[in-house]
Amino acid sequence: MRAADKVLPEATLGRLTLYLRVLDSLAAEGTETVSSEVLAEASGVNSAILRKDLSLLGTFGRRGVGYEVGVLAGFISGTLGLDRDWRVAIVGAGNLGRALAGYGGFRGNGFRLVALLDQSPELIGRRFADLDVRDAGELETLLPADAVNMAVLAVPGAAAQALCERVVAAGVRNILNFAPVVLQVPPGVQVRKVDMARELQILAYHAGHAGQGGPPGP
């Protein structure tokens, strides 16, 4: 088994995305090599942890030289599966769905936004971010026709589970859920949830412990 075939711990995966972001900006500046200390500091990670993460991938820097930026970025991209063709559909073209569709960074890094769907007659047929909003009522045919392999759900919580089941039945195995519900999915389907309210609550907890924040609300 290659090192890259091992299932990596979630925490390592999260840090790999940080390293990759830093490596991409170093490459854009024309930097060819980077030490583990510099890469760790720019990623906000302890350098011993970085070295351990990269050794899990089976990649090692050279003493006195460090890591080759392009090689390491390519290796991390491959490990994360970013060298594959990810065809993304956003379901829900409301405020959030349209903002995500217009976000340029989402389109890079191996992800191609190929469809934007909604059920609202007021939105179907309108054009946002170079995509016509298509009828979510037809997602069973639209998603396979566009070879979608990743779906972003940006619909109200009450609609999310039923929609998720339709997306899965249409053959999509990877779902990024923005709706404030926990989705039930069959084995083999990956769901990631983005929850800004949760992040704010955790931030408030830490801020509160640091003596910040106003007096308790009503």
Ligand X SMILES: NC(=O)c1ccc[n+]([C@@H]2O[C@H](COP(=O)([O-])OP(=O)(O)OC[C@H]3O[C@@H](n4cnc5c(N)ncnc54)[C@H](O)[C@@H]3O)[C@@H](O)[C@H]2O)c1
| Interacting residue ranges for ligand X, rule: CB under 6 A | 91-97, 118-120, 123, 136, 154-157, 159, 163, 178-180, 194-196
The helix (H) or strand (E) run that includes residue 152 is: strand 150-153
Token pair of 166, please?
A: 């339709």
> Residue 58 or 156: which CB sits closer to ligand X?
156
How far is residue 73's CA from residue 51's CA, in Å, rounded to a whole number?
15
| Residue 96 labelled as part of a binding site | yes
Write down the least CB distance from residue 171 to ligand X, Å: 17
Write down the least CB distance from residue 167 to ligand X, Å: 10
Using alpha carbons, list the distances in angstroms from residue 104 to 45, 113, 129, 130, 188.
26, 10, 9, 12, 29
Residue 169: DSSP 8-state: H
| Residue 93 labelled as part of a binding site | yes
| Residue 211 labelled as part of a binding site | no
Write down the least CB distance from residue 210 to ligand X, Å: 23
Contacts of residue 74, defined as CB under 8 A and 6 or more positions apart, other chains included, come to: none
> Residue 3 or 162: which CB sits closer to ligand X?
162
| Residue 92 labelled as part of a binding site | yes
Give the residue numbers of the binding site: 92-97
| Annotated binding-site ranges for NAD(+) | 92-97
